[in-house]
Amino acid sequence: MAAGGKRIAWVTGGGSGIGQAGAEALAADGWTVIVSGRRRNALDEVVRIIDARDGGRAEAVELDVSRSADVEAAAGRIVDRHGRIDLLVNSAGINVPKRSWEDMEIDGWDRLVDINLNGVLYCMRAVLPAMRAQRDGCIINVSSWAGRHVSKMPGPAYTTTKHAVLALTHSFNMDECVNGLRACCLSPAEVATPILKQRPVVPTAEEQARMLQPEDLGRTIAFVAAMPPHVCVNEILISPTWNRSFVAMAAHR
């Protein structure tokens, strides 16, 4: 932890969903949170929500994580302003409606790889110099249930990128543990976030109510971030109790 208790967290994809929930939970725990994303209006609203609470501190940085030079510049600005980066939450991610082998488009595949995988790597590399200098730092990479279990619905591009994020996280821990750094791969099953609107068949309101909620993941992110530096939570696989993949399996018995 930084001297005097100042803790700086950078949350990508912080304008909605899991990223927003993580930013709000971290701010409630006393972190200064920098939220980044492509939609400035959404980021400003998250900052407004956090700053309106007692002790909340947040800033917004408009950023497309698929642009490596922009990512490096954003990390540099955070360090210049705050002197450190203690936590990175890689929550930026997308999927596309055309996600089966039958209708998959190469442009869609490339965009998923650019954001869901390359963007994660770019951000991890961008915070490394500061974290290595501190000999302390935590990274939380938001993967997916699809990063552990292959199924048809998420599509090949999303499933592939999320499996890769899991491998990337573990390889980071293998190399950077000697520098006091640690990373967690957070793999949630269905979460009721705006990305569900990208599905070919959007789940009903009743179905979404039984899913994980963004605040569930926010609490999980805050839990990992609060662990002491000698603890590495390598991986968390989390699902709703009413897991639709399990329900479907039971229906076919």
Active site residues: 158
The CA distance from 136 to 86, in Å, is: 7
202: region left, alpha or beta (phi > 0 left; psi from -120 to 50 alpha)? beta
Tokens of 77: 């600005």
The CA distance from 137 to 113, in Å, is: 26
- φ, ψ of residue 236 to 5 degrees: the values are -130, 125
181 SS3 class: strand
Tokens of 94: 């997308």
The CA distance from 52 to 56, in Å, is: 7
Tokens of 95: 């999927």
CB 112 within 8 A of CB 90: no
The number of angstroms, rounded, from the C-alpha of 147 to the middle of its chain's C-alpha atoms is 13
Q: Tell me the residue type at 175.
A: D
The CA distance from 99 to 103, in Å, is: 7
Distances (CA, A) of 31 to 10, 164, 225, 233: 10, 29, 10, 19
